[in-house]
Amino acid sequence: MILNDIKEIIKNLSLEEKAKLLVGADFWHTYPFLGKKELCLTDGPHGVRMQNNGGKEAGLKDSIPATCFPTASCLACSFDEKLLFNVGKAIASECIDQEVDMLLGPGVNIKRSPLCGRNFEYYSEDPYLAGSLASGFIQGVQSENVLACIKHFACNNQEYARMVNDSIIDERALFEIYLKPFEIAIALANPKAIMCSYNKVNGTLASENPVLLKEILRGQFKFEGTVISDWGAVSNRVNALKAGLDLEMPGSLSYLDIIEAVQNKSLSEEILNQAVESVLHLYQARPSFQDKKNLSFHQLAKEAALESIVLLKNEGQVLPLHKEEKIGIIGNPNIRIQGAGSSKVNPKHVDSFLDCLRKEKIQFEYFDTITDEVKQMDKVIFFVGLSSSKEIEGKDRKDLKLDEEDIELVCELSKLHSKVIVVLTTGSVVELPFIDAVSGLVLTYLAGEASASALFDILYNKTNPSGHLAETWIERLEDSPVYDFGKSVYQTYYRESIFVGYRYYDKVGIKPLFPFGYGLSYTQFELSDFQIKEDVLSARIKNTGLYKGKEVVQLYVRDLNEQLVRPIRELKAFQKIELAPNEEAEIIFKIQNSFFEYYDVSKKRFMMSGGTYVLELGTSSRNILLSKEYKVDQPMKVQPITVYHNLKSVKEITKQDFEKLCGKAIEPLPKKYPFTLNSPMIDVKTKWIGKVFVYFGLKALKKRSKTKEEFEMNQYTFLTGPIRMIGMGLQKTNYQLEGIVDILNGKILRGMIRFLKKDKRMKKVKQ
Let me know if 338 is exposed, middle or buried by CB neighbors in 10 A (0-12, 13-18, 19+).
buried
Beta strands at 200-201 and 166-168: parallel, antiparallel or unpaired: parallel
Q: Per-residue b/e over 637-667, b at no fewer than 16 CB within 10 Å? A: beeeeebbeebeebeebeeeebeebbeeebe
State how far the Cα of 341 lies from the Cα of 343, in Å rounded to an integer.
6
By residue count, the chain amounts to: 767
State how far the Cα of 125 lies from the Cα of 472, in Å rounded to an integer.
8
State how far the Cα of 215 lies from the Cα of 1, in Å rounded to an integer.
30
Share of the chain residues as helix, strand and coil, in percent rounded to the nearest 5:
35, 20, 45
Is 230 marked active-site? yes
- What DSSP assignment string belongs to 587-600? EEEE--GGGGEEEE
Q: Are 182 and 197 in contact (CB under 8 A)?
A: no
Taking each helix axis from N to C terminus, what angle separates 688-704 and 734-744, rounded to the nearest 10 degrees?
A: 140
CA distances (Å), origin 63, targets 53, 398, 448 = 8, 30, 16
Q: How crowded is residue 94: how many other Cβ atoms within 10 Å of its Cβ?
A: 26
Please choose, from the candidates 161, 234, 220, the residue with its C-alpha nearest in 3D space to the C-alpha of residue 492. Answer: 161
Q: What is the DSSP letter of 669?
A: P
CA dihedral sign of residues 56, 60, 61, 66? positive
State how far the Cα of 395 lies from the Cα of 399, in Å rounded to an integer.
12
State how far the Cα of 530 lies from the Cα of 626, in Å rounded to an integer.
7
State how far the Cα of 152 lies from the Cα of 228, in Å rounded to an integer.
10
Strands (E), 87-225: 102-103, 147-153, 166-168, 193-196, 200-201, 204-205
Q: Are 507 and 113 in contact (CB under 8 A)?
A: no
The residue annotated as part of the active site, out of 170, 230, 479, 742, is 230
Q: Are 186 and 134 in contact (CB under 8 A)?
A: no
3-state secondary structure 473-509: ECCCHHHCCCCCCCCCCCEEECCCCCCCCHHHHHHHC
Question: What values do phi and psi take at 442, rounded to 5?
Answer: -115, 125
Q: What is the DSSP letter of 520?
A: B
Q: How far from each other are the two terminal CA atoms of the chain, in whole angstroms?
A: 26
Question: Between the CA atoms of 366, 370, 376 and 380, what dihedral angle is there, to the nearest 10 degrees?
Answer: 60
Please choose, from the candidates 276, 355, 350, the residue with its C-alpha nearest in 3D space to the C-alpha of residue 19. Answer: 276
Residue type present at position 618: G
State how far the Cα of 151 lies from the Cα of 110, in Å rounded to an integer.
11
Q: Are 327 and 374 in contact (CB under 8 A)?
A: no
Beta strands at 549-559 and 611-620: parallel, antiparallel or unpaired: antiparallel
Please choose, from the candidates 72, 180, 79, 70, the residue with its C-alpha nearest in 3D space to the C-alpha of residue 518. Answer: 79
Residue type present at position 452: A
Q: What is the DSSP letter of 161?
A: T
Q: Write out the catalytic residue numbers.
A: 230
